[in-house]
Amino acid sequence: MQTLSPHTLAGIPADWLGVDMHVHSRFSDALPSVDTILERAKRRGIGVAITDHNTIAGSIEACEKARDVIVVPGIEISSAQNVHLLAYFPTPSLLESFYLRFIEPFKRKRLFCKGIHLSTSEILTGVKEFSGFSALAHPFGNGRYHCIADDMRQEILALLNGIEICNGVQSHRRNEKAYVLAQNMHRAHIGGSDAHVACACGHVCTFAPARTVPAFLDALDKRMSVVFSYPFSIRETMEDGMIIALRYLSHFLHRQRLWI
């Protein structure tokens, strides 16, 4: 069965780049290999950002292997306050330099989403230092952004480039609250599937008038983006949740302490 392009579904100009900005691989708490994610993205005619939790192994591998798919180098970071951040960079080398300076030395020996030993503000300052684009991931879902003190939230918002207004595994109500936050704070709009299974990749895409990664991130920073989504099927939703639960259970039973 032919898969319709998100460009066709959303009525987006064909020369705009569409990217699923939030995809997980087997290098953190998901099932798909990098090859599987790239194949899925190619079939859908989109780019992809592999944003594994506190690790860049999947993203770097995707950048090295991609031929017909545009890959935005990225990572999802859990700060010391357990605020989840998405960070994207114009080149893999800038992502790697940022990671070696601001993430790897501050990791904790815990499971995937435990925060590193750096505050949210310190991480965001580091992203700017390496010419990155930062976004708040699912601000009213996983993570504790909505629980921290108001003055700390204001400090974080002042440093952010964008906000994830549509996350594929969050409810409509939570995504709507994220959209209102982005509008009120005049921050760029991004969206991603937060896929943990390959079939979910591409359910949420961010479009911008660009054909290269640096131009795409620049367009996002200028708030020239359109986010399009369509719902997961019941099967995809159940698969996504089951994969996450099984990965955590497996690591708990084996008492693994991962540097992830």
17-23 vs 47-50, strand pairing mode: parallel
Q: Which of 135, 72, 79 is nearest to 102 (CA)?
A: 79
Residues of the chain with confidence (pLDDT) below 70: 1-6, 8-10, 110-113, 231-241, 243-260
pLDDT given at position 111: 57
pLDDT given at position 244: 64
CA distance 163 to 33: 27
Q: Which of 89, 69, 65, 66 is nearest to 77 (CA)?
A: 89
pLDDT given at position 100: 98
Domains and CATH numbers, the chain: 15-253 (3.20.20.140)
pLDDT given at position 29: 86
CA distance 29 to 24: 7
- Which residues in 92-128 are b (16+ Cβ under 10 Å) and which e? bebbbebbeebbeebbbeebbbbbbebbbbebbebbe
pLDDT given at position 237: 60
CA distance 242 to 34: 20
User: Could you report the per-residue pLDDT of 26-44, keeping only the tens digit for each?
Assistant: 999 888 999 999 999 999 9
